[in-house]
């Protein structure tokens, strides 16, 4: 076998192995809305975001109910990352303290719960 053909065959085998590993490692987490509710209750999210996470106690706090889970998840991750990373972090001491102990799976559960809530959030079309 020619060296270039052997290299090509080895490369294809390595790519196939990497794809197979990626499929087994990257198993998606199905969000658990009931765990998200439990997390919301235990972290007392309603203290700032109001009843049903839809009536904030102050204009400084966002209305969360009905917000897209993907947005909520990344916002919570940004609070975990914090202000030390200007490209990704959000700098809010209260929120950072609330989410530090949560796993990424917990964040996905919490985000799914928030998305499941009926809210008066207006999405522009």
Domains and CATH numbers, the chain: 30-116 (1.10.760.10)
**SS3 of the chain: helix, strand, coil, percent, to 5:** 60, 0, 40
**pLDDT of the residue at 4:** 60
**pLDDT of the residue at 79:** 92
CA distances in angstroms from 89 to 71, 74, 99, 106, listed in the order given: 14, 10, 13, 19
**Through-space distance between the first and last CA atoms of the chain, rounded to whole angstroms:** 60
Question: Backbone phi, then psi, for 113, in 5-degree steps?
Answer: -65, -45
| Percent of the chain scoring above 70 in pLDDT | 74
Mean pLDDT in residue range 43-63: 95
Distance, CA of 39 to CA of 50 (rounded, Å):
15
**DSSP tally for the chain: helices H, then strands E:** 6, 0
Residue 53, pLDDT above cutoff 80: yes
Q: Which residues fall within 8 angstroms of residue 71, CB to CB, at 6 or more apart?
A: none
pTM, 2 dp = 0.72
- Average pLDDT along the chain: 83
Q: pLDDT category, 30, cuts 50, 70, 90? A: confident
The region of weakest confidence among 6-10, 44-48, 84-88, 117-121 is 6-10
């Amino acid at each position: 076998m020619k060296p270039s053909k052997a290299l090509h065959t080895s490369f294809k085998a390595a790519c196939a192995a990497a794809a197979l590993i990626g499929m087994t490692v990257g198993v998606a987490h199905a969000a658990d809305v009931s765990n998200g509710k439990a997390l919301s209750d235990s972290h007392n999210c309603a203290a700032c975001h109001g009843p049903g996470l839809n009536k904030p106690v102050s204009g400084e706090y966002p209305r969360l109910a009905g917000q897209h889970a993907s947005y909520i998840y990344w916002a919570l991750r940004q609070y975990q990352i914090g202000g030390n990373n200007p490209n990704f972090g959000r700098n809010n001491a209260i929120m950072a303290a609330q989410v530090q102990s949560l796993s990424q799976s917990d964040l996905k559960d919490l985000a799914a719960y928030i998305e499941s809530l009926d809210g008066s959030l207006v999405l522009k079309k």
